[in-house]
Chain A
Amino acid sequence: MKKWFVILALVMISLVLSGCASTAKVAEAPAPVRPVVIGAEGIPQPEWVYKTVSTQDVHYETGYGKMSDKQNSIKRATVEAKNKIAAWVSTQVKEVVVTYINDAGSGANRQALDAMEVISQQVAEATLSGVTTEEIWVDADNGVWVLCTIPIANIQKSFEPAAEAVAEAFIENEAADAANAKMKDAFANLLKGAK
């Protein structure tokens, strides 16, 4: 009887311990490990291929290309990255236009809308200055990935001539100076906050 009692007690203890142990395991489950992907040149896949890179002063975009040779693949990948940068600048400018019009309450002001149209076109289609390819990675299929950068300051410089054009368009408007300053601020803030 005593022997059975001891066995029963041991079973109970082990069940209790195993229950605790399994709880602990769940709590301490490690994060899933991302498999290491090795490229055609023996270099592991860098993080920037699948994860957005973001800093305060530089905007990053990636591009991918797979053509008949590496140089053409690089060309296509950089073309894609530059186009993404241009699209990003264009989006930011359009956002400034909408923000400004809402903020200034000038939705019905045709002059303001025309001026905004001008700045939107000029900045969005301005040339991108100083796009640099920082990294290149070739995947196992010989597709080329590039990481391109553009300094935010360079985009702001492109904005200045267009802002002057708008200032001229607002010449008859009482709030010309204030509107121009507000618009410049809005653009600078959006660029800072939209990486």
Chain B
Amino acid sequence: MLLGAVLLLFGCRTVSNEQSQKDALAYLDVSSHPSNVYVGLSGPYSTQERMVEEAILSAAKSIQLKKALALDSRLVTSYQSDKGLLSFASDEAAFYDDTTMAETIHALEVLSVHFDPEAGAVVIVQDPRESGKKRVYQSSYNEEGKPTWITTYPKVDGYQFGVGSAKRHYFLNDSLEATDFAAAQNLLDLKTEHAFSVEKVTTANQQMESHLYQAQRGLLKGFTIIARYYDRASQTYWSLACADE
């Protein structure tokens, strides 16, 4: 059924099959569209059909994430007074409801499909079930051409923002997923619904040792990636995420 829906959509697509020199991220920028427009990308696959299928799934996933995104993070750290921080390790996870994914895909209207060597298929879709509003934030840039949100969190009433970054992965879609995930976890770090913290401190031979375990959970509503940036010098991708406060 899912495949059928994808093929149906693929049949109705508006293809701009240009292999332009345009930055792959530029295709993903939907900031000029209303809030019910989403973008999905596939990464490279062997066939265009498969790429479109994956891109539509990716766009539908963005819609599901916006409905509800549950986050979980567990962290352990060890500190010794004479050696400083010994370890800082975290295990993070995110969960979303994919049971209505097929329904979401059926409802989508494809606005455009592009193919890019790096991004694979980039599909821009509209969800007619949702009213299209103006985006909550538009990026502004500093003198170096970098978005200001990299250094300063935007402030908009009723919304919270998170920034994530990740080093470049082999495939663009993996880089972006890692960056988006980091932005979601940053939102959890900044506003935690439930946190549990236990610290064990011991002293021996005039040295203090501390072991800390901390777990936190949260449920984000309205999670959306509203801007992205790639810093070529450091080969780092950045995402700005927003969620309802």
Contacts and interface: CB of A to CB of B under 8 A. Distances in A.
Interface of A: 41, 67, 69-72, 74-76, 78-79, 82-83, 85-87, 125, 127-133, 136, 138
Contact of A79 (B151, B190, B191, B214): B214
A127 B195 contact: yes
A107 B197 CA distance: 30
A151 to B, nearest CB: 13
Nearest to A128: B195
B165 A82 contact: no
B214 A129 contact: no
Given A71-B182, A136-B153, 12 more contacts: A72-B88, A79-B214, A82-B195, A86-B195, A86-B197, A86-B199, A125-B198, A127-B195, A128-B192, A128-B194, A129-B193, A131-B191
Task: List the 7 closest pairs (A to B, CB-CB), nearest first.
Answer: A86-B197, A133-B190, A127-B194, A128-B195, A131-B192, A83-B197, A78-B189
B189 A74 contact: yes
A148 to B, nearest CB: 9
B196 interface: yes
8 contacts: A71-B163, A75-B90, A78-B189, A82-B214, A83-B214, A128-B195, A130-B192, A131-B191
A78 B199 contact: no
Given A78-B190, A79-B75, A79-B77, A131 B88 contact: no
A133 to B, nearest CB: 4
A74 B197 CA distance: 17
Give the interface residue-count category, chain B. 20 to 34
Contacts of A87: 199
A41 B75 contact: no
Nearest to B153: A136
A35 to B, nearest CB: 23
Contacts of A132: 190-192
Interface string B196-214: 1111000000000000101
Interface string B123-151: 00000000000000000000000000001
A83 B212 contact: yes
A67 B88 CA distance: 10
A158 to B, nearest CB: 10
B197 A82 contact: yes
B4 to A, nearest CB: 41
Contacts of B47: none
A172 B152 CA distance: 59
A74 B185 CA distance: 11
A175 B152 CA distance: 56
A130 B191 CA distance: 7
B164 interface: yes
Nearest to B90: A75
A79 B212 contact: yes
Contacts of B77: 76, 79
A130 B193 contact: yes
Nearest to A74: B189
Nearest to B195: A128
Contacts of A136: 153
B194 A76 contact: no
A71 B165 contact: yes
B186 interface: yes
Nearest to A124: B198
Contacts of B75: 75, 79
A129 B191 CA distance: 10
B8 to A, nearest CB: 41
A132 B198 CA distance: 19
Nearest to B210: A83
Contacts of A129: 193-194
B205 to A, nearest CB: 24
A56 to B, nearest CB: 22
Nearest to B92: A75
A133 B198 contact: no
Interface in B168-197: 182, 185-186, 189-197
Contacts of B192: 78, 82, 128, 130-132
Nearest to A78: B189
